[in-house]
Amino acid sequence: MALTAFPALGQEGSSVPVQPTVVFQTGTGDGSPAASPIHVKPPRPEIGCDTLALAGRAVSYGFYSAFEIPRQRLDAKLFQTALDKYRGYHCSYGRTRGPAVIVVVDFAKHSSEPRLYRVDLRTGDGLDSPIRVAHGIGSDPDDDGYATVFSNVYNSLSSSLGAAIGAERYVGQNGLSLRLDGLEPSNNQMRMRDIVVHSYAADRRRYFNADLISMRGRPGSSEGCFVVEPDKREWILDTLENGGFIYAGYSGELPKPIVPVPNQNIVFASGTGANPPSAPRPASGTLSGMPGSPPTAPISPVPATSTR
């Protein structure tokens, strides 16, 4: 039986038709057209370090906040500190640019007041209106709505002060959240402490809830996280995700927090560099701030004689 030889597929002079190439649409996994246009997030607006002086001048002239209610304005000195911290991170070690929009939090304000601001460094103007944000329950020992103690210690349930960078989104027990990485000794344990930005679902209101203001005069607190109302979550996550800048500060005179670990403080004799024989040393594995250590007991800076 004779076999008819077929020319190789695609060989020059072949009479066998070549099938057209199938082009797959992005994101569909087949040859069908994409169901909807693919959304590509626009790049984050940036500002050059050489133009930051504009935002600095805006502070001097009061343009840093256009909010109509004076008590809701961002404190000029606090903004200047945030700007200095921004320069220290984004304008050093060869860096010359950074995000044009940053977040500043003033923990000196009462928790019932809007105190989280989004500021455009290109003009020094505040964007939108400030929003409410929680502070940690450990930062408010007397539960009066004012944060007076700040800590970087694991399991202190306290807020930390300082500059931080937004990192990745994730879905946790509080829904969509955003991790933070602290940039200073005062907050560099944020990731280990799980200090993040999140909101809450309507059926999972644990501590912070703006609806409580009408009943208690304050919205409650968090475990140290920056908790915002559900309709504001995307607003701040979009600003901070993957490299956004946030500075949590304190306008006015900063309280002097005392965050001891009972019976485990090492007291050094003044000027000797030696430890007095009577001072107890911490037990092995129980150093403050280490995983597995007992919760700290924040002490309010209010004098012991106060009736507050």
Question: What are the pLDDT digits (tens) for 54-102?
Answer: 776 666 555 455 555 666 788 889 988 999 999 999 998 888 999 999 9
39 lies in some domain: no
On the question of pLDDT at 32 being above 60, the answer is: no
> Which region among 41-50, 263-272, 278-287 has the lowest average model confidence (pLDDT)?
278-287
Percent of the chain surpassing pLDDT 70 = 59
Per-residue pLDDT of 178-194, as tens digits, reads 999 999 999 999 999 99
270 lies in some domain: no
Q: Cα–Cα distance between 17 and 246 in angstroms, integer? A: 62
What pLDDT was estimated at residue 206?
A: 63
On the question of pLDDT at 173 being above 90, the answer is: no
242 lies in some domain: yes
What pLDDT was estimated at residue 164?
A: 98
91 lies in some domain: yes
> Which region among 191-195, 198-202, 208-212 has the lowest average model confidence (pLDDT)?
208-212
What stretch of H or E contains 88? helix 76-90
8 lies in some domain: no
300 lies in some domain: no
Strand order in the sheet with 116-120: 125-131, 116-120, 101-106, 245-249, 162-172, 175-182, 196-198, 226-227
27 lies in some domain: no
Percent of the chain surpassing pLDDT 90 = 39
CATH number at 184 reads 2.40.440.10
88 lies in some domain: yes
Looking at per-residue confidence, does 29 or 187 come out higher?
187
When the pLDDT of each residue in the chain is averaged and rounded to a whole number, the result is 75
Q: Cα–Cα distance between 123 and 51 in angstroms, integer? A: 10
Question: Based on the structure, what is the number of domains in the chain?
Answer: 1
What pLDDT was estimated at residue 163?
A: 97
What pLDDT was estimated at residue 217?
A: 66
Predicted confidence band of residue 267 (pLDDT cuts 50, 70, 90): very low
On the question of pLDDT at 300 being above 50, the answer is: no
Domain span including residue 191: 46-249
What pLDDT was estimated at residue 207?
A: 74
Could you give the C-alpha distances from 176 to 146, 170, 231, in angstroms and in order?
27, 6, 12
Instruction: Please say whether the dihedral angle defined by the alpha carbons of residues 61, 65, 67 and 72, taken in this order, is positive or negative.
Output: negative
